[in-house]
Amino acid sequence: MEPYLAAAVQMTSTPDLSHNLTQAEALIQQAVERGAALVTLPENFSFLGTEREKLIQVKRIAAATEEFLVKTAQQFGITLLGGGFPVPAPGGKVYNVAALIGPHGEELGRYRKIHLFDVDLPDGITYRESDSVLPGDTIHLVRTEKLGALGLSVCYDLRFPEVYRALALQGADVLLIPSAFTAYTGKDHWRVLLRARAIENTCYVLAPAQVGTHYSRRHTYGHALVIDPWGNVLADAGDMPGIAIAQIDPKRLAQVRQQLPVLQHQRIEGSPIPPVKE
């Protein structure tokens, strides 16, 4: 593993699949022009509409998204994370999938979101992700020679620290947390939780994000971040579409882990953790 630049993309996705993919490609190109070798896209990057629309169009969304990820990774010669998109699942539902594609278009890893967002927020908005999505049951770690070990997750997983501790104990160097965090929760919890996951696991964190108004009352917080293993925010995309880009430095990773060897000191096992797939 050598030092490299990694980018967390920030988008305002809508129910318009074609528009979203065009927006994603433009932001990926910006990241590549700035030297990024790893580019990460947020949850729902290719489609962010109602659950009903998603279920009706899922086959089209999945096919177009996967074709886009392979083609774009090959075109720019990068490793590309499609942070979360629907793929058909049994029973008329979908999986919320994060797919990691290598620079030759090869699939390096595929993770199905484990924790589903079923929440009644104080602002009066209700989310029931489980109405349309089936949960996954396996944590996924992708080991690469050039980029290190990359731990996959999606959005609401962020609130379950055992996921990231399991990935870290398996050797994760960088935690990928693509999200569409609500504006209501994001203002208080987003940065705090991401910094905590970085600090407690002495890992880099890449958190691409959705921002703004997508449809009806769906509003997301933004602030895609790159965070180092000490918890320092290295880059912040703010509250508009754009990119957060920063260096992933293995020497910094080793330095922090030498100063705070918390992963070697863990003695108490937490709640049951799904198996890690590699």
Q: What is the CATH number of the domain that holds 258?
A: 3.60.110.10
Structure tokens at 87: 């793929």
Does 155 participate in catalysis according to the annotation? yes
Give the domain extent around 256. Answer: 4-277
Q: In tens digits, what is the pLDDT along the chain, a chain of 278 residues?
A: 899 999 999 999 999 999 999 999 999 999 999 999 999 999 999 999 988 899 999 999 999 999 999 999 999 999 999 999 999 999 999 999 999 999 999 999 999 999 998 888 776 677 888 889 999 999 999 999 999 999 999 999 999 999 999 999 999 999 999 999 999 999 999 999 999 999 999 999 999 999 998 887 789 999 999 999 999 999 999 999 999 999 999 999 999 999 999 888 887 765 555 666 76
Total domains in the chain come to 1
CA distance 202 to 224: 19
Catalytic residue selected from 59, 66, 107, 155: 155
Active site residue 51: no
Q: Which of 67, 71, 107, 113 is catalytic?
A: 113
- The residue from 43, 54, 66, 203 that is catalytic is 43
184-214 CB burial, b ≥16 within 10 A, e <16? bbbeebbbebbbbbbbbbbbbbbbbbbbbeb
